[in-house]
Amino acid sequence: MLDFTPRDPNYATRVHSSFDRQQVMAWIGAKLTHLAPGHCEITLPHKPDLTQQHGYIHGGIIGTIGDTAAGYAAYTLMPHDASVLTVEYKMNIMAPGDGELLIARGEVIRAGRSLVVARADVYAVKAGKETHCASLLQTLMTMHGKADE
């Protein structure tokens, strides 16, 4: 169905370079741990600085890594001279961000010429066990002719 053949053979370099320029990723301690055409995984170790009033990772931070995972999944499929913009996303939080780390897995579900639809699922890993913590559905825009840096 979907053509997950990247138009840019150097997509991985381009995505990693963009990720590395997101200061907020280093600041929260998130890492880009897997990348493939139409797919991206972001991992975030637990950190008390990121918690809400009950000691779990704040929903907005869960959204931050979900947004980023889905966004870079989309960006793998964009041309080399384009940048990516989040138009909107919707996230359901289904369980608290509780555990030693969070993993956000983004994947493209529709890659159009200008708009890309992607989703991300976020898992909380506690004592090695994954709990499905959040699900995002997202729209992204390809900014043609505006290279990311």
Query: 101 with 43: CB under 8 angstroms?
Result: yes
Q: How far is the CB of 148 from its own copies (least distance, A)?
A: 6
Q: Report the Cα 8 to chain-centroid distance in Å.
A: 19
**Nearest partner of 37 among 78, 90, 98, judged by Cα:** 78
Cβ-based nearer residue to its own copies, 34 or 85? 85
Q: How far is the CB of 22 from its own copies (least distance, A)?
A: 5
Task: Locate all alpha helices (DSSP H) within 21-127, ordered by sequence.
Answer: 23-28, 59-75
Judged by the rule CB under 8 A, the positions of this chain that interact with its own copies are 1, 18-19, 21-24, 27, 48-54, 58-61, 63-68, 83, 85-95, 109-110, 112, 114-115, 117, 119, 132, 135, 137, 139, 141, 148-149
Cβ-based nearer residue to its own copies, 5 or 23? 23
